[in-house]
């Protein structure tokens, strides 16, 4: 289906592919990133490099630490130890809204389309800084109006690409689960990110929209973006990922191209340890998603963004770092 990036273009040494292997052109480099919750070590990543301009899948059994690792990289959670860079910039300690502004945008396992707002309003929110009811805006109103028009045009273009343009004025709450996933992805693109991080993009999406989502993800790569996604659906991973990173019990236990990773004993062990009945070749089901925590953190990040931008519309928050 996709044009896979050859392994030789991704790693420095194709003959020695081990967890933490050096990439030719890494966009993210993480070192000694750990996160404990009480006595539980949720993430303990010694070294990981994400190759630029390709599609990397982060897989692993439930509870492996994938979402927590996403949260740490994107500033939605703070690690106990570790450093990481994005495009060479040190991100440790940087809040989520600043990480997003640098071009590292994520979506959530449970979509955060803000149901009380319309589809187009959600899209405008994705554009980041738009000015607000501040003095600067009051003085330079015509300039801001121009910028707002530009944002609307861009939003409508993206909505058309994602076949959501007819729904622009509908409340996001009226969309189906799959359409919300599309909206979240479209909104992420408003800020022209370099790295798009998708947390279980296929979860809760009905089969009719699955192919469409797959094509949109492949399209991101065609447009020069890097994609990192968490996914349980191994068919999807096989189909679109250039590279697969496997987590188990917080650590990176294997990485490599999908064709070899699925037969790696460490990977089979990791999955069989958690699911005695799982066949990696046929694992396709959508996971039931547990709603956990942290709506306060997300709310705080959005409030912070609004405070900084001075934007008038105060969105309601939905969920969370999942
Ligand atoms: N806020 C939290 N407080 C306490 N424990 C947490 C918290 N967030 C995650 N954990 C625990 O950390 C571990 C890793 O969870 P995480 O959600 O990152 O795994 P995951 O690989 O994303 O799982 P899944 O595939 O089920 O989404 C789990 O044992 C989880 O229960």
Q: What is the CATH number of the domain that holds 217?
A: 3.40.50.300
170 CB neighbour count, 10 Å cutoff = 14
Distance CA 67, CA 274 (A): 17
Number of residues that make up the chain: 322
Residue 123, domain member (yes or no) = no
What are the residues whose beta carbons fall under 8 Å from the beta carbon of 21, sequence distance 6 or more? 11, 12, 13, 49, 255
49, 26 in Cβ contact below 8 A?
yes
For residues 244 and 261, the answer to whether their CB atoms sit within 8 Å is: yes
Euclidean distance between CA atoms 49 and 105, whole angstroms: 17
Asked if residue 81 is part of any domain, the answer here is yes
Residue 128 near ligand 1, beta carbon < 6 Å: no
- 70 lies in a domain? yes
Q: Is residue 156 part of a domain?
A: no
Domain that holds residue 265: 1-103+194-289
142 domain-assigned: no
Alpha carbon 241 to its chain centroid, in Å, reads 14
Interatomic CA distance for residues 91 and 87, integer angstroms: 10
| Residue 275, ligand 1, Cβ within 6 A | no
Nearest to 302 by CA among 313, 293, 288: 313
In a domain, 8, yes or no: yes
> How many domains does the chain fold into?
1
Which pTM was predicted?
A: 0.81
The Cα–Cα gap between 43 and 24 comes to 25
Residue with CA at minimum distance from ligand 1 atom 4: 37
- From the CA of 29, how far away is ligand 1's center (Å)? 22
Distance of alpha carbon 90 from the chain centroid: 19
What's the chain's Rg over C-alpha atoms?
19
* Ligand 1 proximity of 63 Cβ (cutoff 6 Å): yes
> What parts of the chain have a pLDDT lower than 50?
130-133, 276-277, 282-321
Binding site membership of 116 for ligand 1 (Cβ less than 6 Å) = no
CA–CA gap between residue 317 and residue 297 (Å, rounded): 10
Ligand 1 atom nearest to 71, measured from its CA: 18
209: tokens are 């929209």
130 part of a folded domain: no
Distance separating alpha carbons of residues 260 and 258, to the nearest angstrom: 6
- Chain position carrying tokens 């191209």: 257
Distance 250 CA to ligand 1 centre (A): 9
Domain contains 275: yes
Q: Is 320 in the pocket of ligand 1 (CB under 6 A)?
A: no
Question: Which residue puts its alpha carbon closest to atom 28 of ligand 1?
Answer: 63
Q: Whose CA is nearest to atom 9 of ligand 1?
A: 68
* pLDDT for position 81: 97
């Amino acid at each position: 289906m996709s044009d896979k990036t050859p392994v030789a273009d991704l790693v420095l040494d194709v003959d020695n592919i081990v967890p933490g292997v050096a990439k030719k052109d890494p966009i993210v480099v993480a070192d000694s990133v750990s996160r404990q919750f009480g006595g539980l070590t949720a993430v303990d990543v010694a070294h990981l490099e994400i190759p630029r301009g390709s599609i990397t899948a982060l897989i692993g059994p439930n509870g492996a630490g994938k979402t927590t690792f996403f949260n740490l990289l994107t500033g939605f959670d703070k690690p106990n130890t570790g450093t990481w860079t994005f495009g060479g910039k040190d991100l440790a300690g940087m809040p989520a809204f600043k990480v997003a502004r640098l071009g590292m945008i994520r979506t959530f396992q449970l979509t955060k389309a803000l149901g009380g707002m319309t589809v187009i309003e959600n899209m405008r929110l994705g554009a980041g800084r738009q000015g607000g009811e501040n003095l600067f805006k009051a003085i330079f109103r015509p300039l801001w109006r121009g910028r707002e028009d530009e944002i609307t045009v861009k939003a409508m273009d993206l909505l058309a690409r994602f076949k959501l343009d007819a729904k622009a004025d509908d409340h996001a709450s009226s969309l189906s689960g799959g359409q919300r996933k599309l909206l979240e992805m479209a909104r992420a693109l408003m800020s022209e990110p370099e790295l798009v991080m998708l947390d279980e993009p296929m979860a809760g999406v009905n089969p009719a929209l699955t192919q469409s989502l797959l094509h949109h993800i492949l399209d991101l790569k065609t447009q020069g973006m890097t994609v990192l996604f968490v996914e349980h659906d191994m068919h999807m991973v096989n189909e679109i990922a250039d590279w697969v990173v496997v987590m188990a019990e917080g650590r990176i236990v294997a990485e490599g191209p999908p064709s070899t990773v699925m037969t790696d004993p460490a990977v089979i062990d990791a999955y069989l340890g958690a699911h005695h009945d799982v066949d990696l070749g046929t694992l396709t089901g959508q996971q039931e998603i547990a709603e956990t925590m942290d709506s306060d953190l997300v709310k705080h990040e959005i409030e912070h963004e609004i405070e900084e931008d001075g934007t008038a519309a105060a969105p309601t928050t939905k969920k969370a770092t999942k």
